[in-house]
Amino acid sequence: MATQVKEYVGRTPLSNPIFDIVYKSPKYIAVNKPFDVCVDGDDREITLLKHLAVKYPEHAGQYRLVNRIDYATSGLVLTAVTREAANKAGNLFQSRETLKQYLALVWGHMTPLYIEGKEGSKQTEITIDQPIADDNNDSNSFKMMIGTEANPGRKSQTIIRVLEHGYYNNKPASKVHMIPHTGRRHQLRVHLMSLGHVIVGDETYGPKDGDCPRMMLHSWKLSIDKLGLDLETPDPFDGLLSSSPSTSSSTSSATTQGSTSEQVDVPEITKDTLDSNDNNDIKEENSTSTISTNN
């Protein structure tokens, strides 16, 4: 009797996600959010805000999200303990006085590889100036798209640096470093898709893939000079790309080590070398100050 193969319908949420506290002060707490976890939501059993309420109960009910990242995205989320602190940080996002940096793995070998240096850096950076709009053909009103004449959307810009070529699950893939200058929903995912390079494991803009343990998009660094914040999380994709298809990394973990692939050093980025990104659109909802995201 033939064995019936169960159809893959999507990833199962983490049952025991690990939240790492990256920074804590009397006004702010920065968290390295795991993938496939919501930042908030009364209908969710596990969220970042609920975790903070349990870990630091003295501020339960007071936490406010300064920035958001998607359910499937991992990485830095900044929360404020007071409304005043949230508004102060939110205004800095709106006035482009913050710098956010992301890492991702994408399908295919993106070119050119980034070359660090005054002359080579600009020549090997990819700048995408494409508006982001709601995808009116999406019945779930979730997906975004590149704007058109009929559906122009909003101005959006992303700088991309290709750091590494290799293979993931025996298929060509690249590691990219992204600096968004605007903060549209799904901006990074849609901009990459527009270049023909969907993020590995992105089941919204790419196919469902039971061999990928997660969407490979990570909020890596956050700098806010006026708050004295210069935050960084570990690179969860370090070593995931291999040098050849036969030795590509296992999918059992997003931190599984593979063999060496073609790569370049990740440069240090400051607001002196790059205009700060604008993760804007602050909104008040249920007395919580939040900022829209680009992932």
Q: CA-to-CA distance for 221 and 242, rounded, in angstroms?
A: 24
Phi-psi region of 225 (alpha: psi -120 to 50; beta: other; left: phi over 0): alpha
Going by C-alpha positions, the residue among 287, 216, 282, 234 that lies closest to residue 68 is 282
Choosing from 36, 40, 70, 202, the catalytic residue is: 70
Residue whose pair of structure tokens reads 């300064």 in the numeric block: 66
Going by C-alpha positions, the residue among 131, 133, 193, 120 that lies closest to residue 161 is 120
Going by C-alpha positions, the residue among 191, 179, 205 that lies closest to residue 153 is 191
Cβ contacts of residue 88 below 8 Å, gap of 6+? 227
- For the chain, give the number of residues: 295
Amino acid identity, position 59: H
Cβ contacts of residue 188 below 8 Å, gap of 6+? 102, 104, 158, 178, 180, 199, 217, 294, 295
Amino acid identity, position 267: P
Annotated catalytic residue 70: yes
Enumerate the active-site residues. Answer: 70
